[in-house]
Copies of this chain bind each other. A is one copy, B any other.
Amino acid sequence: MKANTILITNDDGIAAPGLKALAEVMKELGEITIVAPDSPQSGMGHAITINNTLHVEHITGFLNTNQAYTCSGTPVDCVKMAVHEIMKKKPSICVSGINHGSNSSINVIYSGTMSAAVEAGIEGVPAIGFSFCNYSWEANFEPLKKYVKKITSEVLKNGLPEGVVLNVNFPNTEKIKGIKICRQAKAIWEEEFDKRTNPMGKEYYWLTGKFVNHDKGEDTDEWALANGYISIVPVHFDLTAYHAVQQLNSWDL
Binding site for B on A (CB under 8 A): 40, 42-51, 53-56, 73-74, 76-77, 80-81, 83-85, 106, 108-110, 115, 118, 122-123, 150-151, 154, 158, 160-161, 163-164, 166-167, 179, 181, 183-184, 186, 188, 191-193, 195, 202-207, 232-245, 247-249, 251-253
Complex Cα distance, B184 from A122, in Å, reads 13
Chain B hits for A51, CB < 8 A: 40, 42-43
SS class, residues of chain A in contact with chain B? mixed
Complex Cα distance, B83 from A192, in Å, reads 10
Contact of A183 among B85, B154, B242 (CB under 8 A): B242
Check B45–A253 contact: CB distance below 8 A.
no
Check A188–B123 contact: CB distance below 8 A.
yes
Indicate the member of A49, A54, A238, A247 with the most B CB atoms within 10 Å: A238
Chain B hits for A234, CB < 8 A: 240-241, 244-245, 248
Give the oligomeric copy count: 2
Check B48–A110 contact: CB distance below 8 A.
yes
Check A239–B235 contact: CB distance below 8 A.
yes
Check A44–B47 contact: CB distance below 8 A.
yes
Check A207–B49 contact: CB distance below 8 A.
yes
Smallest Cβ-Cβ distance to A106: which chain B residue: B122
Complex Cα distance, B237 from A186, in Å, reads 10
Check A84–B238 contact: CB distance below 8 A.
no
Smallest Cβ-Cβ distance to A40: which chain B residue: B51
A144 to chain B, nearest CB (A): 14
Indicate the member of A53, A84, A161, A205 with the most B CB atoms within 10 Å: A205
